Amino acid sequence: MIGNFTHSLSAWLVNISIAMTALRTNLMRSILTTLGVMIGVFAVTLAVAVGSGAQVSVMQSINALGSNMALVFPQPDSEGGSRSNFDRGRLTMRDARAIEKQIDGITQIAPQLRTNIQLVVAGRNASTIAIGATPGYADVANVAADTGRFISEADVRSAARVVVLGPSVARKLFGGFDPIGETVRINRAPFTIVGVLESKGSSFGNDNDDLAIMPISTTRQRFAGDSLAGPDDLQMLFVGFEDGVSLSRAKRQLTALLRDRNRVRDNEINPFTIRTTEEFMKETGQVTSIFQIVLVAIASISLLVGGIGIMNIMLVSVTERTREIGLRMALGAKRSDIRNQFLVEAAVLCVIGGVMGLILAFASGFALTIYADFPVPIGLSVAIGAILFSAAVGLIFGGYPAIRASRLSPIEALRSE
């Protein structure tokens, strides 16, 4: 048994040696042939990696937003019925306090107001989004002050003119200097900087550090009051839940409570919209999966073209080497030996192209990660799969030429010129 294995291994090594010699003999043709496979493997590998990177970016975005959380918006939800242009949403601080008291499993709530602001200091300026929040925002949204402190309950009660800057805004205004305690003018009003947030990086090209947080009462008085329908209206509410709490069940409880508070009849739509991070993950996972399938399908066309090129060249090679095939058969080579010789040659040609395509995919992925800030993970399993897949392409598309070569008549092959 060991002897048979050694003989088979020796035969395959001889075929590989013959294949390498044949490829070197027609070096330029071999290089041009591998280009098709190289481009195909590069496109498919990069498509898989980009799809995986999209999923990673989505998860990063959701984690940056906060985990195990429900988001409540004062926009009418059309799921419960038809929606007209006259439907109007509503969400208030009273609703937020009722949710905190009556729904089980809540860790923290974070009512919010959001508006665009202009910050100016010492001739430098920056435009960003201001989030008017309460101290609970830090826990729900997974943010914390890297230096200084976060806003406090005292800041909210007194509508203090204090602000916590995101790292990107702090860099724009102060460079490498510590801004804690400095005064910055926001829409011409002086504010004291009390903290700088920890960096959350970026995802999908969006800078998660480009923001400023201030007390919700201050935002209401100075920036967003005119755009609100009532004195305690909210633009958004984050509701954080304990680990293990069913978000689908929590959503049903929130919906029932808010419908009751808004006196919504059975046939009327909700004057609010509730989404959970669980729903975001599921929906974005489906979108990125479809996106990845489409990319791979498009990229596979180039690999198909490369495989057809391999078949074409191998058929030419069989025609050119007909006399060599006849000579080998006359010297005792079996049809299986001839077939395996050309199969190995096609596989080696494709594996070389696959390795080159994989190297190009690694380089492109690295460039996208560095310069486009988009993760393009190419794991070991993807790399090994790309090499094995390229070898399979060689065996599939080289199969017909190999079988054709093995069926040649030795006498007719020797007579060929």
Q: What is the pLDDT of residues 152-188, one digit of tens each?
A: 999 999 999 999 999 999 999 998 889 999 999 998 8
78 vs 244: CA distance, rounded Å: 29
273 half-sphere exposure, CB direction, 13 A CA radius: 16
Q: Is the pLDDT of residue 382 over 60?
A: yes
* pTM given for the model: 0.67
Percentage of residues of the chain with pLDDT beyond 70: 87
Q: Is the pLDDT of residue 20 over 90?
A: no
Q: Provide Rg for the chain, Cα atoms.
A: 33
pLDDT, one tens digit per residue, over 31-86 is: 888 888 888 889 888 888 888 887 777 776 766 666 688 999 988 876 555 444 44
pLDDT of residue 168: 93
pLDDT, one tens digit per residue, over 268-324 is: 888 889 998 888 888 877 888 888 888 888 888 888 888 888 888 888 888 877 887
Our CA dihedral for 310, 316, 317, 323, rounded to 10 degrees, sits at 160
Our CA dihedral for 41, 44, 49, 50, rounded to 10 degrees, sits at 130
408 vs 250: CA distance, rounded Å: 73
pLDDT, one tens digit per residue, over 127-153 is: 999 999 999 999 888 888 999 999 999
- CA geometry: angle at 56 spanning 54 and 62, to 5°? 105
pLDDT, one tens digit per residue, over 397-409 is: 888 888 888 888 7
- Mean pLDDT (whole number) for 216-232: 80
CB atoms within 10 A of CB 20: 15
Tokens 């609010």 belong to 272
pLDDT of residue 78: 62
- CA geometry: angle at 23 spanning 21 and 26, to 5°? 110
294 vs 288: CA distance, rounded Å: 10
